């Protein structure tokens, strides 16, 4: 039941966190805010923000490692393919091996079920890119992106925050 409630809330996040404009300056602003938070809270993450045709912002924080960019790349591919957040895909697919079903035809080398990829949705255009964070547990990666988008849009993050994960 918790997964269903989380999925519903993530759908609300995706519908609400729509940007009125998105360009290099906006990507830099959002990316810099995530980077500043990571520095302040000592988060060992990487941040990768891009449209589907090119990268716009990238930062690697102390404590991140060589695997994080690859995890982000595979999350980006999932957002590009399905136009939804990767954490929502994790909850919908319920696949502990982090792979898509064989019938999907998605190679594990290029696609992964792991939270932290969130669609960049532009008002009037739809999903045009992705913000990916990698380095924390997937629910936290997802939350970092949601918090940054809320701050950018002037939305109280508490309204859209996922509740603490049930153990």
Closest CA to 117 of 147, 151, 160, 73: 73
pLDDT at 62: 97
Predicted confidence band at 167 (pLDDT cuts at 50, 70, 90)?
low
Rounded to the nearest 10°, the torsion over CA 125, 36, 41, 13 is -10
Closest CA to 131 of 65, 64, 51, 41: 51
Provide the percentage of residues in the chain whose pLDDT is more than 90: 89
Rounded to the nearest 10°, the torsion over CA 80, 81, 86, 91 is 160
pLDDT at 97 over 90: no
Rounded to the nearest 10°, the torsion over CA 140, 142, 148, 151 is -90
Task: Measure the CA–CA gap between 91 and 38, rounded to whole angstroms.
Answer: 25
Predicted confidence band at 44 (pLDDT cuts at 50, 70, 90)?
very high
Q: What value does the mean pLDDT of the chain take?
A: 95
Q: Let me know if 78 is exposed, middle or buried by CB neighbors in 10 A (0-12, 13-18, 19+).
A: buried
Stated pTM of the model: 0.95
Predicted confidence band at 103 (pLDDT cuts at 50, 70, 90)?
confident
pLDDT at 1: 56
Task: Measure the CA–CA gap between 42 and 140, rounded to whole angstroms.
Answer: 13
- According to CATH, the topology of domain 2-160 is Beta-Lactamase (3.30.450)
Q: Where are the domains of the chain?
A: 2-160
Predicted confidence band at 164 (pLDDT cuts at 50, 70, 90)?
confident
18 is written with which tokens?
């729509």
pLDDT, tens digit (0-9, with 9 covering 90-100), for 70-91: 999 999 999 999 999 999 999 9
Question: What average pLDDT score do residues 1-23 get?
Answer: 95
pLDDT at 149 over 60: yes
């Amino acid at each position: 039941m918790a997964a269903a409630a989380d999925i519903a809330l993530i759908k609300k996040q995706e519908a609400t966190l729509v940007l009125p404009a998105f360009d290099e300056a906006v990507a830099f602003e959002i990316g810099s805010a995530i980077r500043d938070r990571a520095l302040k809270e000592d988060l060992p993450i990487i941040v990768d923000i891009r449209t589907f045709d090119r990268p716009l912002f990238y930062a690697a924080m102390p404590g991140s490692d060589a695997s994080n960019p690859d995890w982000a790349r595979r999350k980006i591919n999932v957002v590009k393919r399905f136009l939804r957040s990767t954490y929502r895909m994790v909850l919908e697919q319920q696949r502990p091996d982090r792979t898509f079903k064989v019938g999907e035809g998605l190679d594990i080398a290029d696609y992964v079920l792991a939270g932290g990829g969130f669609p960049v949705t532009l008002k009037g255009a739809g999903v045009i890119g992705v913000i990916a964070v990698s380095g924390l547990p997937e629910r936290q990666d997802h939350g970092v992106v949601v918090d940054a988008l809320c701050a950018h849009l002037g939305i109280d993050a508490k309204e859209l925050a996922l509740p603490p994960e049930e153990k």
